[in-house]
């Protein structure tokens, strides 16, 4: 039986995808934060010590992924819902067993 998806819920899909991207970013953020903590302080052209990135920077990254994942998913779902009127939806085939 062929079925078309007529509507995607923007808020529900965006919540799920936003959380998944935030959790997925931790795979990169945690090792990056650990590696940066072992890097010795750098110096500028005058020989003055340069501060390392704040731990708040690493806290900001998953939050940024969550927000951007949420916003982009809302936009994508809204675009899909609008285009469904003109092109039809994603079609899939299912079988009852």
Sketch the domain layout of the chain as residue ranges: 55-86
Instruction: Report the pLDDT value the prediction gives residue 1, as an integer from 0 to 100.
Output: 84
Task: Show the tokens assigned to 7.
Answer: 């509507």
| pTM metric for this prediction | 0.80
pLDDT at 72 over 90: yes
Neighbours of 96 (CB within 10 A): 4
User: What's the rounded Cα separation, in Å, for the pair 26 and 58?
Assistant: 9
Query: Could you give phi then psi for residue 75, rounded to 5 degrees?
Result: -65, -45
Q: Which residue has the tokens 């931790």?
A: 26
Cα 47–chain centre separation: 39
């Amino acid at each position: 039986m062929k079925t078309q998806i007529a509507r995607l819920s923007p808020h529900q899909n965006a919540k799920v995808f936003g959380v998944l991207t935030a959790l997925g970013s931790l795979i990169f953020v945690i090792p990056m934060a650990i590696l940066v903590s072992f890097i010795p302080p750098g110096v500028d052209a005058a020989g003055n010590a340069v501060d390392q990135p704040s731990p708040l920077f690493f806290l900001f990254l998953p939050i940024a992924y969550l927000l951007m994942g949420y916003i982009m998913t809302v936009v994508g779902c809204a675009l899909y819902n609008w285009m469904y009127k003109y092109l039809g939806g994603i079609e899939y085939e299912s079988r009852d067993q």
